[in-house]
Amino acid sequence: MAESENGSSNVKLEKPLHGRIEIRTPYQEIDRSNLLHVLQDAVAVHTINAAAIDYLWRYNKGEQPILERVKHVRPEICNNVVENHANEISEFTSGYFLGEPLTYVRRGDREAASTYVDQLNSYMFYEDKASHDKMLADWMAVCGVGYRMILPDRRFIESGVKLPEDESPFEIDTLDPRTTFVVYYSGFGHKRVMAVRMVVVEPTPGNLVLKYCGYTPTHYFEVVNGSIEKWERHLLPDIPIFEYRLNLAMMGSFEPVVPMLDAINVISSNRVDGLEQFVQSFLKFINCDVDKDTVEDLMKLGAISIKSWNGNPADVQLVSAELNQEQTQTLVDYLYDRALAICGVPTTTKGGTSTSDTGNAVFLRDGWQIAESKAKNSELLFKKTEKEFLRFALAIIREKDLDFDLSLSEVEYKFTRRQHDNLQSKTQALLGMLQAGLSPEVAIATCGLFNDPQDVFMQSKDYLQKWKYIPMTGDEKPDDYGNETEDKAV
């Protein structure tokens, strides 16, 4: 199998597949005896996926088929125009889905868990997880799949001592889907049995070798040139590589409409060709005897003298036909609107400018409701993998901090989108929930106003107590507002 310098496949793909192929194996456990067989089958499938991913990634950057167009009639006039709506769609999808950081909030009624959730968010902030989430969302939007890796912090492994509280006990990385894949068991449970990273190494100067570095739930291995060079037990709680999916078919956000985007590029290129051909129209000489010098004089002077002979009228005309721009624009608008509708991207070409429209009316009319539905659909798949990732992270934290008492069932994942829309309504909803006696922590997380509800709750405790939304314990001193110290709940 031919590989490029970064380890991705050199297989050429003219058109992308309709989604990625899930890599499966009938082996429930991978050991040294069946490793090479499973890896060989997995690489064969991954090669197809990697070619499609690379095609979509280059397409998203603007390397689209229209750039290789060949024009046989008047080939000197050949304008290849790329309207990169693929990038427009993928940027919107990733930005709308995870443009705001994913945060963790407390789930359940154990108040002590709030402190540990806040500490967990601090660890994630230190590792800049928000930016890794955005990179992961970008890959998912382009090719339908993304990969994340987590490992214990190297300083923990080397020193064995606890780091300061503002530092995280683990490290996070976002991997390239062209050089990473996960293998699943094909039977009941559908568990991960192996994950592999493809790395190009240079053991000797000028000698590049492709190395397969992988994990099973219990072992780490390295395979080079079909030979197992390393097979050793690791102490990790599970496989440290996780596969995130944008949808069930693992299709990129613009992948379903690639033919429509190609058609828009063809129309745009032909429109520019039509304009240039109209300006550079041929001259038609009727009953005129002209030579090359005469035509060159015409090009320089912009005028020519002709005579009619024997009753045959002489004339010089332009051979031209102008493209109907109005009808062409109608087709472009149709293709563009259909592409956005299929991809769940709101459009700005519909509707009107009526000042009587409410926010909800615009939200429904311009396609924002469809965008929200697609984002929620991706949320469910994202949360499934995020739970596996968080289980791994909590295991690392507990190993380094025995006092960290937080279970996976006490953590909920909070996606915050459109938090500034209908600001007054959301504020009134928050106030209504607080006045109704609902837990302030639940009310803040539910109203949709804040990116990090847990942090807002922790910072607002004093103010919530001032307004009697949180009962006092009886140990507080009178504050600056003159409040009494007794326990007063709403």
Residues facing 318 on adjacent strands: 283
Position 100 in a domain: yes
Boundary residue ending a domain (256, 276, 293): 256
323 and 458 part of one domain: no
48 and 183 part of one domain: yes
H/E stretch holding 372 reads helix 368-400
Q: Using an 8 Å Cβ cutoff, are 183 and 40 in contact?
A: no
95 and 237 part of one domain: yes
80 and 196 part of one domain: yes
User: What is the residue-level pLDDT of the chain in tens, covering all 490 positions?
Assistant: 444 444 445 555 555 568 999 999 999 999 999 999 999 999 999 999 999 999 999 999 999 998 888 877 777 777 888 899 999 999 999 988 887 778 888 887 787 888 898 889 989 999 999 999 999 999 999 999 999 999 998 765 555 555 555 478 899 999 999 999 999 999 998 999 999 999 998 877 878 899 999 999 999 999 999 999 999 999 999 999 999 999 999 999 999 999 999 999 998 888 877 776 655 555 566 667 666 676 666 666 656 666 666 666 766 555 555 566 777 888 888 999 999 989 988 876 555 555 445 555 555 556 777 888 888 888 889 999 999 999 999 999 998 887 888 999 989 888 876 555 667 778 888 888 888 888 888 888 887 777 667 778 877 877 777 766 666 555 554 444 444 444 444 3
Alpha carbon distance 271, 80 (integer Å): 10
C-alpha angle with apex 96: 95 to 100, nearest 5 degrees?
Answer: 75
251 and 282 part of one domain: no
> Pairing relation of β-strands 24-25 and 315-319?
unpaired
Boundary residue ending a domain (225, 256, 287): 256
279 and 149 part of one domain: no
Q: Using an 8 Å Cβ cutoff, are 273 and 420 in contact?
A: no
> Pairing relation of β-strands 24-25 and 180-185?
parallel
Q: The pTM is what?
A: 0.76
Position 129 in a domain: yes
Residues facing 164 on adjacent strands: none
Alpha carbon distance 116, 405 (integer Å): 7
Token couple for 235: 């102490």
Neighbours of 396 (CB within 10 A): 22
| Total structural domains within the chain | 3
276 and 250 part of one domain: no
Position 445 in a domain: yes
Alpha carbon distance 319, 277 (integer Å): 10
Alpha carbon distance 380, 447 (integer Å): 20
Could you tell me how many helices (H) and strands (E) the chain has, helices first? 14, 13
Sort 326 into a burial class: Cβ within 10 Å, 0-12 / 13-18 / 19+: exposed
Nearest to 144 by CA among 18, 241, 258: 18
Boundary residue ending a domain (233, 256, 279): 256
Position 135 in a domain: yes
150 and 83 part of one domain: yes
Range of the domain at 484: 422-490
Position 360 in a domain: no
- pLDDT, residue 140, reads 95
Alpha carbon distance 290, 453 (integer Å): 83
Position 53 in a domain: yes
Position 9 in a domain: no
DSSP letter (8 states) at residue 306: -
Residue 14 DSSP SS3 = coil
316 and 234 part of one domain: no
76 and 141 part of one domain: yes
341 and 433 part of one domain: no
The amino acid occupying position 487 is D
Name residue, tokens 């309504």.
425
Position 17 in a domain: no
DSSP letter (8 states) at residue 261: H
- pLDDT, residue 7, reads 47
3-state helix, strand, coil in the chain (%, to 5): 45, 15, 40
134 and 240 part of one domain: yes
Residue 469 DSSP SS3 = coil
